[in-house]
A and B are shown apart, each in its own frame.
Chain A
């Protein structure tokens, strides 16, 4: 195990040239990795009703809310004790906001679905064509049980559309075993103790899910594949853009570890780091397991220790005590030092266990590898607890406070997870924990296979040859797209960057709607954009129309190249229109007669009117953002 850890540490420190060896190294640790890419389609209507298939703007009023409860009906729900899950769900209130224009009865489970949207099906078919897939003869809409309330019907409609595809990415063949057409879920608005509020605007927007097989050889390759599929989706021109419109789920496992699904990665650029961290986490967990086994570690039963803390001044304890809460604790024999072991940056085994406890709505847990003084525990309290739990030199303990029911349940969940530390890596669905560190956290146990049954309210779809032929005609093609870009942009590297970038469509829109030079546009939205983003300017929040206005102003000679960059910064900070910002920030380009006048006036004032350089320097130092250097040069050359 130690050897493996060293290997992976080395791997992480690798030089770029070593990357070639990644494949072999990951192969050695039994690395398996597959992607699921979910992309919202840009169709006019939703998949099973006629609501607009867009996320609602603020102007679409919320005309009411409804509240619902759901039950687990389709059988057991994964690894957690079913009855607990059942109870949990039964008492959980979900509130749904109803929008004036984006919600109809179908969305809130008050009307059966209409027929499947043809436009969405067409897009799915053409994407299948692009990945050389076999389209199924008769499509069978299914219901996939969803138990988190994100779907008012408690299921998501999903249809298997095509199988057996493949793509070539950097010389590797990646198999695409399936493409699904499904419904988007509700967006969450807020979570409260007594339930969750969802917005129903986006429910039912068509999504395609594209899955790869689990044999992507390296984390770097996983990112490449995600970028490639992202590009393919974008160049179809039929997908939505913007935050949340594409989500990557990645499945990772290593030899001796377990399949873990990290859900909802939105920044594809960081996908490789998330995968690397997951590999590292699994290796650490295996290392901890071995150490625990050597120490003959075990997990004790939880005990009610409320009495020991009746007079406590520790905040987490007292807050709960006031509400007639309880404190539970349990012993972890032979765990000393293990709970504090880091498994990922800023995440320890204790954090992993805490994630489970939090499922029972407690704030978290306290463990003995932490600095207990910092919590404010008295020596006596700890002494009594150690005595009560019979904590020895090599043991550790965990304390959980909360309402009686929650604290007890949390202790049970924490014990379950702690026991699994002796087994290895639990099968989990995880979510993003920290986007900077690229770490994940436990969300729920990995479901033991989706619970699915036929959507009896929607008919199976027998595809006609005509439907398939029409779709194949509009198959997106990356090579064709690259050629088209190369005819506009000189820099080949820039073309490749743009092709893989989510900003490709933005580029196209700008080129279609303005006369701005493609090279300048591409350079600005790729390189300048990244520079500004690194410089802390929130340029990613600027909407498309303002970009179009910016480049339109530039191509109409209202601003200079330097002015464009400056204006971008201003646009990131202020909501005003581009025209207003040009005026307010005095970014108007001085051009033509105005520039001539400026030159003339300076010449008259200058000590040596023939010193072109001096005049240029004076003008540019005062009007760097307003005067185009080449125009000035031309003018000066003409006049000198």
Chain B
């Protein structure tokens, strides 16, 4: 945002963002379009887009003159309005925002959410040849801002789309919390008998090198042509534009801040790969679609008073009391190693044991996962663990902490604490596997 001083000056000269202006500062004369001010720049630096395409910043001060030359024109994005082929599989495309749904407005650099399907089809003309796509924008939200309210909405829309005849659903989503949403859908969608595929991008779709195009094409392929009856995440399998993998939503995790292949299966193998030609190769067991299944229902109740806590050396266990005092019913702990927490009495006030016991006595459900992510927690190896186990902590097997958190919140949404506790370490949607295979580490 420009400073008050400048905004007043612009108003006085009826200058708007995008107008052609002339800025004179000493011997420097620039003509170009007035650009909006991003939060990154100085509020008094007037940014002008020159004919050459470059932006130049001129600091406003004494002797700087700004005059309007002409009004600007609105930026129009190219559109394409292809006819959908009725004979192709029906796929519902649910749009929620995130990097994949945003692109830079070329003149201003402002982020623009692609909401029109015509824009999308212009940039990815392959899509209408894969499926008969029905586009539905649900929200426009960055994934870090997602909450269980959005999970509920997406689950309901997904169920509706499937019940209305879609043979698969693609959901575009910001990548940061895509794993949470995928888990939520996996638990919420009951009697799921179709592929539900979340996809996103690590590079925004305004750049020619974006992974958005191939991810969306591959996800659409899965939704249109696969017999997977699970919620999956489909993103780049490697840094190359080579093949995309479909990962089980409850077992997938974003493991890199920025790489295209950030999503990895944890304690799991990919379900399938989709190559550049759209060919799907299945590489592990998965739940398959069956004929004549009933309707999909969305059981979307969620207990927001559920917390995910991480323990670490010197951590203060009193944090649990804070939550208990606020009526929290469930906790997923990210312990160290096999599922440890400080329990020694040698450092007064640092043992989690009394707090855990207290929470359980208050009726809370406590699940233990590991911050190593890979591997299974086990309450029987060390004495400290047995102490926790004895106290009533549920050891969540090879479940991801985030998945366990979503699962517990969902369980508490429709069950009492006792029933939720019973179900926490039982497999519901593929989140717990009895066998962790050798080749499931760091893949």
Instruction: Judge whether B57 and A73 touch: CB under 8 Å.
Output: no
Question: Using Cβ atoms and an 8 Å threshold, which residues of chain B touch A137?
Answer: 25, 45, 57-59
CB of A634 closer than 8 Å to a CB of B: no
Instruction: Judge whether B240 and A453 touch: CB under 8 Å.
Output: no
Residues A70 and B240 in contact in the complex (CB < 8 Å), given A75-B78, A453-B104:
no
Question: Using Cβ atoms and an 8 Å threshold, which residues of chain A touch B56?
Answer: 136, 140, 160, 163
B52, B103, B214, B241: residue with the most chain A Cβ atoms closer than 10 Å: B52
CB of B208 closer than 8 Å to a CB of A: yes
CB of A66 closer than 8 Å to a CB of B: yes
Instruction: Judge whether B53 and A110 touch: CB under 8 Å.
Output: no
CB of A256 closer than 8 Å to a CB of B: no
Instruction: Judge whether A71 and B123 touch: CB under 8 Å.
Output: yes
Instruction: Judge whether B241 and A67 touch: CB under 8 Å.
Output: yes
Q: In whole angstroms, what is the CA distance A460 to B48 when docked? A: 13
Binds A, one of B147-155, B199-207, B345-353: B199-207
Instruction: Judge whether A139 and B242 touch: CB under 8 Å.
Output: no
Name the distance in Å between B262's Cβ and chain A's nearest Cβ: 9
Instruction: Judge whether B28 and A164 touch: CB under 8 Å.
Output: yes
CB of A462 closer than 8 Å to a CB of B: yes
Q: In whole angstroms, what is the CA distance A61 to B290 when docked? A: 51
CB of B107 closer than 8 Å to a CB of A: yes
Question: Using Cβ atoms and an 8 Å threshold, which residues of chain B touch A69?
Answer: 214, 241
Question: Using Cβ atoms and an 8 Å threshold, which residues of chain A touch B45?
Answer: 137-138, 460, 462
Instruction: Judge whether B42 and A110 touch: CB under 8 Å.
Output: no
Residues A460 and B28 in contact in the complex (CB < 8 Å), given A73-B208, A105-B259, A110-B258:
no
Instruction: Judge whether A452 and B42 touch: CB under 8 Å.
Output: no
- 190-237 of chain B: CB within 8 A of chain A: 202-203, 205-210, 213-214
- 0 or 1 for each of B33-46: is its CB under 8 Å from A? (1 = yes): 00100101110010
Question: Using Cβ atoms and an 8 Å threshold, which residues of chain B touch A134?
Answer: 26-28
CB of A426 closer than 8 Å to a CB of B: no
Question: Using Cβ atoms and an 8 Å threshold, which residues of chain B touch A456?
Answer: 38, 104, 109, 111
- 0 or 1 for each of A47-89: is its CB under 8 Å from B? (1 = yes): 0000000000000000000111111111100000000000001
Instruction: Judge whether A110 and B259 touch: CB under 8 Å.
Output: yes
CB of A512 closer than 8 Å to a CB of B: no
Name the distance in Å between A380's Cβ and chain B's nearest Cβ: 44
Name the distance in Å between B293's Cβ and chain A's nearest Cβ: 38
Q: In whole angstroms, what is the CA distance A74 to B210 when docked? A: 12
- 78-119 of chain A: CB within 8 A of chain B: 89, 105, 108-112
CB of A450 closer than 8 Å to a CB of B: yes
- 60-88 of chain B: CB within 8 A of chain A: 78
Q: Which residue of A lies closest to B207 (CB)?
A: A154
Residues A73 and B207 in contact in the complex (CB < 8 Å), given A67-B241, A460-B42:
yes
Question: Using Cβ atoms and an 8 Å threshold, which residues of chain A touch B210?
Answer: 71, 73
Instruction: Judge whether A152 and B209 touch: CB under 8 Å.
Output: yes
CB of A451 closer than 8 Å to a CB of B: yes
Question: Using Cβ atoms and an 8 Å threshold, which residues of chain B touch A330?
Answer: none
Residues A145 and B55 in contact in the complex (CB < 8 Å), given A108-B239, A456-B109:
no
B55, B104, B203, B238: residue with the most chain A Cβ atoms closer than 10 Å: B55
Q: Given B47, B51, B123, which contacts A449 in the complex, CB threshold below 8 Å? A: B51
CB of B106 closer than 8 Å to a CB of A: yes
CB of A597 closer than 8 Å to a CB of B: no
Question: Using Cβ atoms and an 8 Å threshold, which residues of chain B touch A459?
Answer: 40-41
Residues A142 and B258 in contact in the complex (CB < 8 Å), given A155-B208, A453-B206, A456-B109:
no
Question: Using Cβ atoms and an 8 Å threshold, which residues of chain A touch B27?
Answer: 134, 164
A138, A154, A451: residue with the most chain B Cβ atoms closer than 10 Å: A138
Question: Using Cβ atoms and an 8 Å threshold, which residues of chain B touch A66?
Answer: 238-240
Q: Given A142, A147, A452, which contacts B208 in the complex, CB threshold below 8 Å? A: A147
Instruction: Judge whether A136 and B57 touch: CB under 8 Å.
Output: yes
Instruction: Judge whether B52 and A449 touch: CB under 8 Å.
Output: yes
Residues A67 and B55 in contact in the complex (CB < 8 Å), given A73-B207, A453-B107, A462-B45:
no
Q: In whole angstroms, what is the CA distance A480 to B123 when docked? A: 56
Instruction: Judge whether A450 and B59 touch: CB under 8 Å.
Output: no
Name the distance in Å between A28's Cβ and chain B's nearest Cβ: 29
Task: Tell me whether chain B's interface is mostly helix, strand or loop, or mixed.
Answer: loop
Q: Given A68, A138, A453, which contacts B209 in the complex, CB threshold below 8 Å? A: A68
Instruction: Judge whether B53 and A450 touch: CB under 8 Å.
Output: yes
CB of B438 closer than 8 Å to a CB of A: no
Q: Given A68, A109, A140, which contacts B54 in the complex, CB threshold below 8 Å? A: A140
CB of A144 closer than 8 Å to a CB of B: yes
Name the distance in Å between B428's Cβ and chain A's nearest Cβ: 35
CB of B260 closer than 8 Å to a CB of A: yes
Instruction: Judge whether B260 and A110 touch: CB under 8 Å.
Output: yes
Instruction: Judge whether A140 and B53 touch: CB under 8 Å.
Output: no
Instruction: Judge whether A154 and B40 touch: CB under 8 Å.
Output: no
Q: Which residue of B lies closest to A76 (CB)?
A: B78
B57, B214, B257: residue with the most chain A Cβ atoms closer than 10 Å: B57
CB of A306 closer than 8 Å to a CB of B: no
Q: Which residue of A lies closest to B103 (CB)?
A: A73
- 0 or 1 for each of A126-139: is its CB under 8 Å from B? (1 = yes): 00000000101111
Instruction: Judge whether A112 and B104 touch: CB under 8 Å.
Output: no
Q: In whole angstroms, what is the CA distance A144 to B208 when docked? A: 11
Q: Which residue of B lies closest to A462 (CB)?
A: B42
Q: Given A73, A109, A111, A142, which contacts B53 in the complex, CB threshold below 8 Å? A: A142
Question: Using Cβ atoms and an 8 Å threshold, which residues of chain A touch B35?
Answer: 454
Instruction: Judge whether A109 and B209 touch: CB under 8 Å.
Output: yes
Q: In whole angstroms, what is the CA distance A109 to B241 when docked? A: 12
Instruction: Judge whether B53 and A451 touch: CB under 8 Å.
Output: yes
Name the distance in Å between A76's Cβ and chain B's nearest Cβ: 9
Instruction: Judge whether A450 and B52 touch: CB under 8 Å.
Output: yes
Question: Using Cβ atoms and an 8 Å threshold, which residues of chain A touch B111?
Answer: 456
Question: Using Cβ atoms and an 8 Å threshold, which residues of chain B touch A139?
Answer: 57
Q: In whole angstroms, what is the CA distance A297 to B107 when docked? A: 43
- 15-41 of chain B: CB within 8 A of chain A: 25-28, 35, 38, 40-41
Question: Using Cβ atoms and an 8 Å threshold, which residues of chain A touch B109?
Answer: 453-454, 456
- 152-173 of chain A: CB within 8 A of chain B: 152-155, 158, 160, 163-164
Q: In whole angstroms, what is the CA distance A142 to B103 when docked? A: 15
Name the distance in Å between B132's Cβ and chain A's nearest Cβ: 22
Q: Given A68, A450, A451, which contacts B241 in the complex, CB threshold below 8 Å? A: A68
Instruction: Judge whether B51 and A142 touch: CB under 8 Å.
Output: no
Instruction: Judge whether A160 and B54 touch: CB under 8 Å.
Output: yes
Instruction: Judge whether A105 and B42 touch: CB under 8 Å.
Output: no
Instruction: Judge whether A138 and B57 touch: CB under 8 Å.
Output: yes
Question: Using Cβ atoms and an 8 Å threshold, which residues of chain A touch B107?
Answer: 453
B38, B104, B208, B238: residue with the most chain A Cβ atoms closer than 10 Å: B208
Name the distance in Å between B286's Cβ and chain A's nearest Cβ: 28
Residues A140 and B47 in contact in the complex (CB < 8 Å), given A110-B258, A456-B38:
yes
Q: Given A89, A451, A460, A462, which contacts B106 in the complex, CB threshold below 8 Å? A: A451
Question: Using Cβ atoms and an 8 Å threshold, which residues of chain B touch A153?
Answer: 203, 207, 209
Shortest 6 CB-CB contacts between residues of A and residues of B: A138-B57, A154-B208, A454-B109, A452-B53, A140-B55, A138-B45
Residues of A within 8 A of B (CB): 66-75, 89, 105, 108-112, 134, 136-140, 142-145, 147, 152-155, 158, 160, 163-164, 178, 180, 449-454, 456, 459-460, 462
12 contacts between A and B (CB under 8 A): A67-B240, A73-B210, A111-B258, A137-B25, A138-B41, A140-B57, A153-B209, A180-B54, A449-B53, A452-B106, A454-B38, A454-B109
Residues of B within 8 A of A (CB): 25-28, 35, 38, 40-42, 45, 47, 50-59, 78, 103-109, 111, 123, 202-203, 205-210, 213-214, 238-242, 257-260
For the A-B complex with A105-B258, A138-B47 known, give 5 more contacts whose Cβ atoms are closer than 8 Å: A138-B42, A142-B55, A147-B208, A450-B53, A453-B107
